[in-house]
Chains A and B, each alone.
Chain A
């Protein structure tokens, strides 16, 4: 199982000090979080993509390309890459380039983006969100897999004999996750292609997460990619830990109460009861995270959100130390012990995809 962190890249003032990081601070903080992820033994760093303040990461492959040069084993990913408002031609090229720079340590998670005004800035309309995701991804897949692409669709100018460059590293496109919180169509899309499905459950009750993932698994089997239990599932989660749970609650409460995404609604305790947010001891985080398995079955990737709600970088890095030293090693062992034989331990990696492609070629030669 892979563990990692994902960052939204929001600039949020620290409610306890009123200090607001600059964009420069925040970008450096994201880099520090990614490097820390590798240092403490996590597997994945994923960045969001946003085109409006208060968010900084508008250019994921620039950020990840830099990180490729700063890290050795960390898998670089996104949460999410906007499949609706980016040109699929540019996605095909940017991420193939990133694959080369990172030696294959790349996958990506596609999402639609739920901020209405962003669409027209890129010449699109949010009401076409699902159709854009379906059409653009169909083109993206072909651009990575076919040398010369002829294409005509509703959402971009036609292509004739177009070759996206560079070609994917070793001729193998990066693994793709599809992420959606509410839309069954996207779970259906992930299942149709046998791609991964990521449910960013951080703001949602377990019952909803269960239904979305169950749909994806059922349809994954329906489309002939293997048994439902072998489908590739990823989840989010957000945690804040101290040795004593009371200290964690006391320290995190002002952040929860004032953060734009959490505050002024339910209490911290009510929110923890309904969503994956876990504020407490490392053991409580371990128990809660293991409980996700009861909701979605055995899954392959767990991403934690740790740099949020205006927490200062120093605190975030402390949280990552706790994750790396006390939480993730236990979770790796416990999840492995529970996972039945045959269920993929990890999502496909560049190495496994290359091996799979070679095996397929060999099988074809025999035929």
Chain B
């Protein structure tokens, strides 16, 4: 059976970071779901902090260099993506958005995506719905219904709807979507160009 690949984008900037903690827990839950479904899986974390300068460079040069190029490839070649951002000024962080900006416009089209965010206060708890989901709708990603938002009290535990429950539910939704779909090789316009007769006919 083909190994299914999941890329987990973590946009936290501090160390240790609660964004990374959430990303790790989501990665573990997804790995567990796929294992119990008997699906060979490879879950890889892409830590954006390591690419902060390269991302700024890519914005001005128009191309991604070095390790950032590999990070982008990890995300675009994945069968599903988990996107985890801290909330900065009531939205996803600039670093997170910059990474999205340097992806090719169709890179996430049709890909199952799980959205998650962390914040310093529960008042941001709708950030996934008002900021992240519209962005990923624009990218034509298939976002799963459960978004996982974690505020400080979630890490303390004792909530009526514990974080772990939401993580498990979201992980299940993502893996259900993932396993129901055959692996889709990324489209390569260089391998398979539009024949010139078609271009002539369209012009």
Residues on A lying within 8 angstroms of B by beta carbon are 130-132, 134-135, 138, 153-154, 184-185, 187-189, 191-192, 203-205, 208, 211-212, 214-215, 219, 223, 264-266, 270-271, 273-274
Does B199 have its Cβ within 8 Å of any Cβ on chain A?
Answer: yes
- What residue of chain A has the Cβ atom nearest to residue B192's Cβ? A184
Residues in A whose Cβ lies below 8 Å from that of B63: 203-205, 208, 274
Residues in A whose Cβ lies below 8 Å from that of B69: 205
A-B contact pairs, 6 of them (CB 8 A): A134-B202, A184-B190, A185-B199, A188-B199, A208-B63, A266-B57
- B57 engages A270 (CB within 8 Å): yes
- A188 engages B61 (CB within 8 Å): no
Residues in B whose Cβ lies below 8 Å from that of A204: 63
Residues in A whose Cβ lies below 8 Å from that of B203: 130-132, 134-135, 138, 153-154
Does B65 have its Cβ within 8 Å of any Cβ on chain A?
Answer: yes
Cβ-defined partner of A219 (8 Å) among B57, B65, B193: B193
How many interface residues does chain B have, given as a range?
A: 20 to 34
Give me 17 other A-B pairs in contact (C-beta within 8 A), A135-B203, A185-B199 excluded.
A131-B199, A131-B202, A138-B203, A153-B203, A154-B203, A184-B193, A187-B193, A188-B194, A188-B195, A189-B199, A191-B196, A203-B63, A205-B65, A219-B193, A264-B60, A266-B65, A274-B63
Does B185 have its Cβ within 8 Å of any Cβ on chain A?
Answer: no
Residues in A whose Cβ lies below 8 Å from that of B60: 264-265
Does B21 have its Cβ within 8 Å of any Cβ on chain A?
Answer: no
Residues on B lying within 8 angstroms of A by beta carbon are 56-57, 59-63, 65-66, 69, 189-190, 193-196, 199-200, 202-203
- A185 engages B194 (CB within 8 Å): yes
- What residue of chain A has the Cβ atom nearest to residue B191's Cβ? A215
- A215 engages B200 (CB within 8 Å): no
Nearest chain A CB to B23 CB, angstrom units: 28
- A185 engages B193 (CB within 8 Å): yes
Question: What separation, in Å, do the CA atoms of A243 and B61 have in the docked complex?
Answer: 29
Listed residue (B59, B69, B193, B202) with the most chain A CB atoms within 10 angstroms of its CB: B193
Question: What separation, in Å, do the CA atoms of A271 and B65 have in the docked complex?
Answer: 9
Given known A-B contacts A204-B63, A266-B65, A192 and B196 have beta carbons under 8 A apart: yes
Question: What separation, in Å, do the CA atoms of A131 and B190 have in the docked complex?
Answer: 19
Question: What separation, in Å, do the CA atoms of A271 and B61 have in the docked complex?
Answer: 9
Residues in B whose Cβ lies below 8 Å from that of A188: 193-196, 199
Question: What separation, in Å, do the CA atoms of A273 and B61 have in the docked complex?
Answer: 13
Question: What separation, in Å, do the CA atoms of A324 and B189 have in the docked complex?
Answer: 39
Given known A-B contacts A266-B65, A270-B65, A215 and B193 have beta carbons under 8 A apart: yes
Question: What separation, in Å, do the CA atoms of A101 and B109 have in the docked complex?
Answer: 53
- What residue of chain B has the Cβ atom nearest to residue A187's Cβ? B193
Residues in B whose Cβ lies below 8 Å from that of A130: 199, 203
Residues in B whose Cβ lies below 8 Å from that of A273: 65
- B199 engages A203 (CB within 8 Å): no
